[in-house]
Each structure stands twice: as C-alpha cells, then as structure tokens.
Structure 1
Amino acid sequence: MRIKCHFNLSRLPAVYYTGEQISGTLALTVKKKPIALKGITISLCGTSNVSWHEPAAHAVLQVEHNDSTLAQAEPPAGIDYTAQKVHIEQFQKLSGALILQPGWTDLGNFEFTLPNKLPGSCSLPLGSISYALLVKLERVSKPEKIYQQKLCIRKHIEFFELNAGHCESAALRLSLHRSVFVPGQRIIYRLQAKEPARIFQSQTRLCQCISYASQQPVAKINQVVRVLIASTEPTDALRLPRLAPLMSQQLEEPIQISYYLETLSNCSDPLKIPLYVGSVAPLVVDQQLACTDFTRAGCYVNLGLTEIEPMFYSMRQLLPINNYSQETNALGLPQKLKLLQLQKKQSYVHLAIRHFYKSLFP
C-alpha cells in the first residue's frame, strides 16, 4: 500500500470506560509519489449488530448428489433476521485539501468523549457490540480510503448496596447475602427446607440470558439461556466467569444481557433470583483477613496508562489488583500453604530477588 495510517493513542492497550476521553495523534506515511487529497476526517463509531437464521417450517431436507449441475441450487429455505443500531457517531475534521509528500506527515491531535449510556463491547454468538476509530481519506478522482482502529469499551456500572436477595415457595427458601457482583466473584447461595425433616433433591444453576431483537424482515425476539455453572449442594459458591459481559441497563436495545440464579427441585416450583453484574460493587470485608493484601479480588483492571503518568510508581500502583471490588473470602491464602512456606528455607537467590524487588518497588 502507498499510504499507511498510524494511530498513536494516549493509552495502550486501547481499553476505555464509558465517560472517559479518547485522545491521541494521527500520522500518515506515503511512499514514492505525492498524493492529492480533498480532506481527512476521523470518526468514532459504535454499533450493535444482530443476525441469525431460522429454517422455514416447511423446508424439505435436500439430498446431495454427485451432479455438478446442483452446485448452483438455491440455499435451504429459511428466514434471516437482522438488526443494526448506531450508538455513537462523532466526526472531527483533521485537514482540508492538501498534497501528501513522500515520507511522514503529522495530522495533529484528536479527542472524543464517550457518553455514560453507551453499552460495553462484546462478541456473542448471534450478535456483537463494537467500537472503532475510522480515518477517511478523500482522494482526488479515486475512491475514498478508510483506515480502522478497533477499541474496547467497558461499561461503567457502579453499585453502592449489596441488595440481598431471596425467593421462597411452600417447601423451600433460596437466599443470597448479596445480589450485586462483578465478573470473577463467587455467588454464595443457601437453600433451606421449611420443614427440617424434609428430604429433597435440587440443582441450583447460574444462568445467563441474552435477548436478541431483530428489525428485518420483522421485529422478533430470540432469547438464548445458557447455564454457566450448576451445583446440587444445598449451600455452595458458584463463580461468575471473569470475562462475562456486564448486564444491560438501557431498554429497547438489540442485545439485552441479564443474569439470574435458579433452583430446580423435586418438591417445589422453580425458584429464581435476579443478579446484577456490574464493574463496581460494594466491598465485602472479612474481619479476620481484612489486613492482608493478597485476599483482594477485583474485576476489570484497565492496564492502559496515560502518557503523563510517571514510570517509577510502585508495581501495585501501576497494576492495581483491587480497583473496584473486594471479596476477601475468594482468594485467601490457605493455612496449609503458610505452613509449607514456613518449613522451606529461603535460598540466597530468593533473598537477593526479594531485596531487589523491595529496593526498586517499595
């Protein structure tokens, strides 16, 4: 290619939270001959796309034959449901008409602000939510040239209360000490029989429900329920996947994501408690382990650093483990490990590395 586009973002990797600013500089490199342009623009685009195929009810099973004339046969009968929604589309003019000379050309700075109501990036089986920076070069007597820089946008959903949840029937009671979580945390539940002598069999499931809404050819909802993890114990801890997408907050979106805890048993109707999955959750501190640092469990950690941040911060400040939430029971160091560490003698190499780490990263 004769023209190359260089995106120099102020944060690497390109991970941003809603409400933050996306800024950086742009440059072009040209090889061989000068190129005349009408103008250069950069835009921030975010869209939701939904697509799935449903076979027609009257579709006949087609049998393949060794006949080359059937290669151009019509595809199986069915309906393709699609939808697209533009969440954000902002433009910024970088340059008017100019002639790019061979070599490196700086185009200046750009800056965009992410609204708080944007949904987060996600890639799902039947749809996706994606964001990107697009640079458009309007060439003279030639088609436009477009360059793309993909972005990862995290939704900032903050909760301030634990919101204990419970659901009961005539025979059983399902309870949670909290219903607000972040990806990676444990969901501790308790299932009790109202009659102590009752013997029952049950299965408690952590479910993810994703609803896809189509616009073409007709409006239709396709709801997909996935069981993330299940347990047959009356009291257990189910861990929410660390890469699970956050819940949806806005209504009437093409993609709606929700979570709930469901219990199926042989003596009661299904019990269901909705769960709220965000990026910031209230602290849960165990008094016995409150002073230890290794018991902290976080959720999303933004590894991107701005250019103005010093490079001589301690390792804990550069890579914070607990930016948003804390669950001290999740990552507590077992007592057996402590005993094993006490029995082992530290080598001189280990002591030297420890001294080096304390000297450079106090």
Structure 2
Amino acid sequence: MKNFKALVVREENSDVSFRIEDGLTINQLNEGEVLIKVQYSSLNYKDMLAVQKKGGVIRNYPMIPGIDLSGIIIESKDPKFIVGQEVLVTGYDMGINHTGGLSEFARIPSSWVIPLPKSLNVKEAMIYGTAGLTAGLSINALNKVGMTPYEDQTILVTGATGGVGSIALQILAKMGFRNLIALVRKEYQIEVAKKFGATDVILVKNFDFGEKPLNKQKFDYIIDTVGGNLISNLIPFVSYAGSISMCGNAAGIKLETTVLPFILRGINLLGIDSVNIPHEKRVQVWDQLSNEWKITDSILLEEVTLESVPETLSKIKNGTHLGRTIVKIF
C-alpha cells in the first residue's frame, strides 16, 4: 500500500506538538482486523485535549488522534466485514491509545466497527460522530426516567451551541418538546441556539444562581454537556423527581453539591458514557439517529481538510466553536 498522511501528535523534551505528516506506512498503525480508507472524521472536545500538553488524553506517543471516523473497508480479516463495505467507528481507545481517525487510513479492531446504517452516508455519520451518539444516549437515559414531549416539561440544555448540545436541542425539538431552554455564555450564541430549536435562551451571566441548597424548581430535566461549577449550581433548581444527564467536563471535573436535592426532591443524576458502551446500545442509538431522529440537514456544519484541523481545535479550546466540524479525508 502506498504511503499516506495523518495528523501526528509527538512528545519531545517534555513538550507536545502536532502536525500533518506525510510518508506514513501501515506498520505505523496499531493492530486490528479491519483496514479502513477513512473518508471523514470529526472534531470533538476530546480531540482538542489530545493535542495539549497534559491534556490527560494521550499517554503513549507518537499517536494519531481522532476519536471518530467513517469510511470504506479495504482489507478485512473478520468474515463479518467485507471489502467495499461502508462503516463507522467512534470511541473505545481510538485516537487515545490506538491510532485514530485523523488519517487517510486506520486499522481498527473489528469489535469496534459498526456497519453504516442504510439511511446514512459516510458524511452524515460524521456530522453526528461522537457528539450525536452522546446526545442520543443522553436523551434515551432521560426518556427512561420520565422525560416525554407529551407533558408540559421544561428541559434545559447546557453548552447548547456546542456539538452535543446543539444536536440534543434539535432532536428534542423534532421530538415535539415545547419548553426547550438553552444556557449559553456569550450573546452571539443566543440566536444560534434559537435556530437549533430553543424556545428560550438564558445567558449564564444573567442567571441568579443564589447560594441555597434548594432553590425554586425551574427545570424538569437537564442535559448537561459541560460539568464543573455550572452544573453544581444548577442542581438546586431541578424540579421534584427530575433528572440530569451528564456527559462533559469542559467547565471542570469537580461536582460540589449537597444531598438535599436528592433526598428531598428525589432527583436523579445520570452519567453518560459514549466511549465503552456495549455494541448493541451503540447500534440502537445509530438507528435512531438515522431514522426518527435524523436532523443532519439542519446541523450547523463546517467541513475542513486535515490541514485546517489545528485552527478548529484552537476554536474549541477558546470556546468559540459552534455546531459541528467534520474533516474530509478522501
């Protein structure tokens, strides 16, 4: 096979750097039963962390990052997959401890690979990527504990103009929820959130968080994508028997609260993992994303090349990134 290019992260003299490298060979990819010609990848908060010094993501260098990919199988040692088949991969150790999707080719364990749903193409799969999978998992988790569009429930989405939040808002709007509140940090994000389906938008700086362990009940359910002090301060506003799904840590990893919202209002805190969830659960969410939840035509999208990845990762780091960015490889 000919040489190829990829984004490579290296550690030298206790410093971390990354750049596009040409002339890579198949032997520089980690082992796997399936070799994929990558057509698209996507960029996520975790990909930004992967290229940072002390980002807490990559531990072994050099590494090709990229936690998402879609493409065409060109070699397979697993009879479940055939040459020419379109597939997608998200999560697991890909782009972390196993060479990932920001590359023209990827060699992947077959147990990580999902056949592309019939109603999606390889580009649409990456328009969703890990962000779409995470949004879907969050919605399903809250649906199981009572969130439904058939009641007059108020749903709050934090980080509402980012990848997970924007997709979650649009799916909820399509499902028929009528009270969708977006929480954003910057004024220019207000109109963006409304385009995603928010019926109301709250600026963080204008919200009176107070200091009480229990505040006025405002939100039946919260899809939290940022973590840290923000969600800590929102817990006292969750209504009786309400629930919060948590999937991100952009605002920090610490959670500070009291037991009172849990023992006096009976609220639930639901952790959302999109990395190591069972294969069957992944397939279920991808089926929903490709059918009754399909919103790929309305997602705020930017398509870039490998060479433009550093610029987008900088936007993600600085908190100025909106919607989804996919990377066209081939």
Look at both structures and tell me which one has the larger radius of gyration over its CA atoms.
Answer: 1
More strand by share: 1
TM-score normalised over the length of structure 1 = 0.23
More helix by share: 2
